[in-house]
């Protein structure tokens, strides 16, 4: 609704604001009453209350406050009260958002959110100061350089976390399962987040990690898939989405499309007509039949959950790990001026089967928690048939099946994913019969 359609309200608004600025009283008994339909649409009593509070702050606060700053903070408060992801972006934050989606920015390398008034780490990013210092998903930031974060907005926290390359910042963290805060000193760096990491775990078994969904993620992933296929005939692939904080919705759709040749990938639903979108897979796909295991955990959020949910619904991949973060909302950046904008939650997204991920997350098909596994030696004194005196020889020597070599992987969840892929590969290979 535009104010220009209701001239009486425009007059009332000017009178109210003028009272706040001291030019006229906040109320005017001679002013015409607003039309009944306007009273039902806009809470005029609350608007008058806002102006009254604004005026009290300007005249009674212990220090002078700039009017423009006060109004801007009021806007921030209005948005922060909606949900943890809606916010006002000033010029610096607007630029930082655009830089972040391109894959290069400054800081310590963490994705953060809000929980119970505290700053919560969604995930540390690969090869960043935060990752190297052992920061974990779910850690609560109690203080930043001894400044308490209780009640602090995300924008303010980001400002404190960023700084000159080489400078240091101290985070006071509270980790789940502990009752003693932990101080971690991090040295800020120029964060360049490579979207894709690829390697061969064992002959025939590839590994692809997506750290964040950026503009070129799908193209880079297709390139790395091609390289892995050239290096060896792939029998299985692990797609690692752990600690992936998300990123661009379009990028998540394009990545999922690499593994699907038909069907719905994701759909969004909101109040605006343009927020009701459906994304379908195209017939072309990079690896339509390759066995696929997807790793997820509590740091897998947003776009990462779109990919995991779609592949799970289409039974295209087995999900291994722990429940994902549960961010199922879509934020739209709405420019206000050339250098300021509002990031507003405008829709929820749903998996192909209609599941909402919001505050629920994606449950893996096989739950595997982080763990440290140490191999045990064979029991002393153990024997096999071949150790017995006078045992019969094997008449079919040379026809034994050679086991697949075990990879030396310290990552337990990844090791289990690889073992699962091996099992699928063994189960799917052609049957052999005796002669």
Using alpha carbons, select from 11, 211, 260 the residue that is nearest to residue 111. Answer: 211
Residue 302 bears catalytic tag: yes
Tell me the two tokens of residue 371: 């763990």
Which CA distances in Å does 44 have to 39, 47, 53, 72, 382?
Answer: 7, 5, 14, 21, 85
Phi first, then psi, for residue 147 (nearest 5°) are -95, 120
Q: How far apart are the C-alpha atoms of 161 and 125, rounded to whole Å?
A: 14
Q: How far apart are the C-alpha atoms of 357 and 319, rounded to whole Å?
A: 15
345-123-125 Cα angle (round to 5): 110
Q: Which residues contact 279 (CB under 8 A, 6 or more apart)?
A: 253, 264, 265, 266, 267
Q: Among residues 86, 251, 302, 329, which one is catalytic?
A: 302
Q: Among residues 126, 139, 220, 313, which one is catalytic?
A: 313
CA 170 to chain CA mean position, Å: 24
Angle between helices 154-161 and 91-102 (to 10 degrees): 70
- Provide the sign of the torsion angle of the four alpha carbons 423, 429, 431, 434, taken in this order: negative
Using alpha carbons, select from 329, 323, 328 the residue that is nearest to residue 357. Answer: 328
CA torsion angle for 336, 342, 346, 349 (degrees, to 10)? Answer: 130
Q: How far apart are the C-alpha atoms of 129 and 110, rounded to whole Å?
A: 9
Residue 67 bears catalytic tag: no
Q: Among residues 120, 143, 327, 343, which one is catalytic?
A: 327
Residue 90 bears catalytic tag: no
Tell me the two tokens of residue 69: 């700053």
CA 22 to chain CA mean position, Å: 47
> Which residues have a catalytic role annotated?
302, 313, 327
């Amino acid at each position: 609704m535009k104010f220009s359609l209701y001239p009486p309200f425009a007059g009332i608004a000017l009178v109210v604001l003028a009272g706040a600025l001291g030019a006229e009283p906040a109320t005017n008994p001679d002013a015409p009453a607003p039309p009944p339909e306007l009273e039902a649409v806009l809470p005029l009593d609350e608007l008058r209350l806002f102006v009254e509070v604004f005026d009290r702050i300007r005249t009674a606060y212990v220090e002078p406050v700039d009017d423009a700053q006060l109004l801007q903070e009021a806007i921030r408060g209005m948005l922060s009260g909606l949900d943890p992801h809606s916010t006002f972006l000033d010029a610096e934050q607007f630029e930082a958002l655009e830089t972040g989606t391109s894959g290069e920015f400054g800081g310590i390398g963490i994705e953060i959110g809000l929980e119970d008034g505290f700053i919560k780490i969604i995930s540390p990013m690969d090869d960043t100061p935060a990752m190297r210092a052992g920061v974990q998903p779910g850690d609560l930031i109690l203080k930043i350089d001894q400044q308490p974060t209780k009640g602090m907005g995300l924008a303010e926290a980001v400002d404190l976390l960023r700084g000159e390359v080489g400078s240091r910042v101290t985070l006071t963290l509270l980790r789940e399962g502990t009752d003693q805060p932990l101080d971690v000193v991090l040295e800020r760096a120029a964060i360049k987040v490579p979207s894709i990491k690829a390697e061969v775990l064992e002959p025939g078994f590839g590994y692809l990690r997506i750290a964040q969904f950026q503009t070129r993620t799908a193209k880079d992933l297709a390139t790395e898939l091609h390289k892995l296929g050239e290096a060896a005939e792939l029998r299985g692939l692990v797609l690692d989405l752990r600690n992936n904080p998300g990123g661009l919705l379009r990028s998540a759709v394009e990545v999922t499309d690499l593994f699907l040749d038909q069907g719905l990938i994701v759909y969004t639903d909101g109040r605006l007509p343009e927020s009701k979108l459906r994304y379908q897979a195209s017939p072309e796909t990079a690896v339509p039949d390759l066995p696929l295991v997807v790793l997820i955990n509590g740091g897998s959020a947003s776009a990462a959950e779109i990919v995991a949910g779609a592949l799970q619904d289409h039974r295209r991949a087995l999900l291994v790990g722990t429940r994902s973060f549960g961010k199922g909302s879509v934020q739209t950046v709405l420019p206000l001026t050339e250098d300021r904008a509002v990031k507003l939650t405008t829709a929820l997204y749903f998996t192909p089967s209609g599941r909402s991920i919001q505050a629920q997350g994606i449950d893996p098909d096989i739950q595997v928690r982080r763990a440290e596994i140490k191999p045990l030696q064979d029991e002393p004194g153990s024997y096999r048939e071949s150790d017995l005196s006078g045992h019969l020889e094997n008449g079919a020597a040379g026809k034994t099946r050679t086991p697949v070599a075990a990879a030396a992987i310290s990552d337990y969840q990844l090791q289990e994913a690889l073992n699962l892929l091996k099992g699928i590969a063994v189960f799917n290979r052609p049957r052999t019969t005796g002669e």
